[in-house]
Amino acid sequence: MPWRTEWKALQGRIAAIQRTFEIIRDADDYYGLSNSMIIPQATTLLEVDVPNFCARYRSDLPPSVPAVVERYRALLSPVGKGRGGGHPGMRAAVAVISGMEGEISQLLADADVQIRSLVGRAFLHLQRLIEVDADYRAKWLAAFRIREETCEALGGLHLLWHGIWGFKANAAGERTDLILGTTMGTQAVSQVVESGSRLVLTEWKRLRSCTDAAVHKASAQAIRQARLYSSGGLAAVELRSVRYVVLISNDRVTLPVDIESDGISYKHVNIAVAPSSPSKARGGP
Residue 109 is predicted with a pLDDT of 73
The residues of the chain scoring below 50 in pLDDT are 279, 281-285
The DSSP element (H or E) to which 19 belongs, if any, is helix 2-24
Distance (Å, rounded) from C-alpha 91 to C-alpha 38? 9
Residue 234 is predicted with a pLDDT of 53
Q: Which amino acid does the sequence have at 245?
A: V
Residue 284 is predicted with a pLDDT of 45
Q: pTM above the 0.75 mark? A: no
Q: Where are the domains of the chain?
A: 2-108, 111-280
Residue 110 is predicted with a pLDDT of 72
Distance (Å, rounded) from C-alpha 17 to C-alpha 35? 13
Q: Is 276 helix (H, G, I), strand (E, B) or coil?
A: coil
Residue 33 is predicted with a pLDDT of 80
- Kindly give the pairing relationship between strand 175-177 and strand 198-206: unpaired
Contact 85, 76 (CB under 8 A): no
